[in-house]
Amino acid sequence: FPLFGAAIHALGASQLTDGVINRSKRMMLDTLGVGLLGTRTAVFNKALKYSQLFTSERSSSIWGRSDITLPPCYAALVNGIAVHSMDFDDTWHPATHPSGAVLPALLALAETLPSRPSGLDLLLAFNVGIEVQGRLMRFSREAYNIPERFHPPSVVGVMGSAAASAKLLGLSPSQCSHALAIAASSAGAPLANAATQTKPFHIGNAARRGLEAAWLAQMGLEGNPSMLDMDVGLGVYYNDYSPSTMPDCASGAFRWILEDQDVAFKRIPAHLAMHWLVDAALAARGKLQEAAWNFDLSQIQRVTLRVPPSKYINCPFPITEHQARHSFQFNACSALLDGKVTVASFDPAQINRSALKELLSKVEVKTPADNHPSFDKMYCEVQIETAQGESCTARCNTFYGHWRKPLSQEDLVEKFIVNASSVLCTEGVEGVIDVIGNIEKVTECSVLGSYLRMTSNTLEKVYKSASCQNSSGHAVTLF
């Protein structure tokens, strides 16, 4: 376990490879985009209202809010909640959402540091946080499957946040180890809160508590130095916990996990498993329309879904948007009815459609023995049977956006633009793209905050101010 602290301390920017830099830039851009979109959700606004009860001498930016700052740990909390508020953020293997717990903590911290961390400092700390999560998940074979008892970001995410924050703070090897030990006491969230408004708090709390752990370690607080080695330490979350040491960073044995294991980027704001199902449903729908021109979807008699076993994403009749994002049945039926699944698919009006409810009543879920509950091995199959006796079946083994079939850079940037443009003005959107694209060359990473606050409302205030000054006869220069 102390070797983890030593590795966090010792890892340097020179060890970042081109492959890792490229992949982590994509992760950062996607995380900021879904986070900005998430600032429009009810759960984000509830968290923001709560967090505004607190003040401190230090303050950090809130994404998509030009006029609000919060104490850094609360900024990490609400920005982390925004990232996961629509379940639109990246997913890794073994299963977790790696970026949402790390990036909000780092950006909140960076704004408070007198040392003014560079973009390269941010990039290195981000990758340290991702790496620690990847290493910890490989302590268990159980972690490779779709989770059954706890939400992984609440366990490895808080550790990643602590590691990344410790790196940006420049903590000693011993302090880094204590930061991890302290963070472990804030780990864990039961899956019973999946498909509720509380689930995004798992990411937000991981970001916040990891940052707090690093600061506490810097102030001298200590934890159990054997936390990662013990069954009663981090091992409480896994039935087959088998820890191993982290390779010596100074030797040639070290290799970033991200180098070999890419992440999945989502095309729809829903649980990752829904992406297989939606692609299969759309393919089956296409086959049916080819077989019967102008086919009336009301003639569907039965829809059979063959999916991996997973209780928390088997939700036959969702009522809320969060349930819908975790429902095999809802996502299949939305794809069949509309020929697509989008952000708007999870609006209450769409969820409560009579046509959708009727189709949901015709769905049967089967879990074949060969369909493993793993994001690396699973498949989804959709079979449509009609009142006329016709049957169409389609199967998806790998959806577009999965690490085996990654989103193109063009599509990834387009996803960011669409999401970010819902909150930021054009200059803000383009500014974030430019900064992340050149992050290793940016002198001060806190410049990101200025673009992330550049909302349409900000521009309106600037232009109104300019208009007033013009009417007074004063010269005005914008930007």
Instruction: Identify whether the C-beta of residue 9 lies closer than 8 Å to the C-beta of residue 420.
Output: no
Average pLDDT (126-153) is 94
Contact 274, 346 (CB under 8 A): no
| DSSP β-bridge partners for residue 62 | 65
Q: What is the pLDDT of residue 3?
A: 85
Q: Facing residues of 303 across strands? A: 363, 384
pLDDT of 292 above 90: no
Q: What's the confidence (pLDDT) of residue 197? A: 97
Reported as a single tens digit per residue, the pLDDT across 388-429 is: 888 999 999 999 999 999 999 999 999 999 999 999 999 999
* Mean pLDDT computed over 29-41: 98
- Cβ neighbours of residue 280 under 8 Å, at least 6 residues apart? 332, 380, 381, 382, 394, 395, 396
Using H for helix, E for strand and C for coil, what is the string for 284-328? HHHHHHHHCCCCCHHHEEEEEEECCCCHHHCCCCCCCHHHHCCCH
Beta-strand ranges (E) seen in 310-396 are 363-366, 380-386, 391-396
CATH 3.20.20.20 fits 1-259, yes or no: no
List CB contacts of 458: < 8 A, sequence separation 6 or more: 66, 425, 428
> How many helices (H) and strands (E) in the chain?
19, 6
What tokens were used for 472? 């007074």
256 and 127 Cβ atoms separated by less than 8 Å: yes
pTM for the full model? 0.94
Q: Are the beta carbons of 268 and 278 closer than 8 angstroms?
A: yes
What pLDDT does 457 receive?
66
The two structure tokens encoding residue 134? 């990847």
Among residues 308, 318, 305, the alpha carbon closest in space to that of 279 is found at: 305
For 369-379, what is the mean pLDDT?
Answer: 96
Q: Which two tokens stand for residue 105?
A: 């903590």
How many residues comprise the chain? 479
Q: Is the CATH number 3.40.50.300 carried by domain 272-396?
A: no
Other CB atoms within a 10 A radius of the CB of residue 470 amount to: 11
What's the burial of 220, exposed, middle or buried (CB within 10 Å: 0-12/13-18/19+)?
exposed
Q: Is 387 exposed, middle or buried (0-12, 13-18, 19+ CB in 10 A)?
A: exposed
Q: Which stretch of DSSP H or E encloses residue 66?
A: strand 65-70
CA gap 441, 460 in Å, rounded = 31
> Rounded CA gap, 281 and 229, in Å?
45
Find tokens 């200025």 and name the residue: 450
Tell me the three state secondary structure of residue 329.
helix
Band of residue 244 on the pLDDT scale cut at 50, 70, 90: confident
Q: If you compute the radius of gyration of the chain from its CA atoms, what whole number of angstroms results? A: 23
The yes-or-no verdict on residue 29 having pLDDT over 90 is yes
140-169: average pLDDT:
95
Q: What percent of the chain has pLDDT over 70?
A: 94
Q: What are the structural domain ranges in the chain?
A: 1-259, 272-396
Average pLDDT, the chain: 92
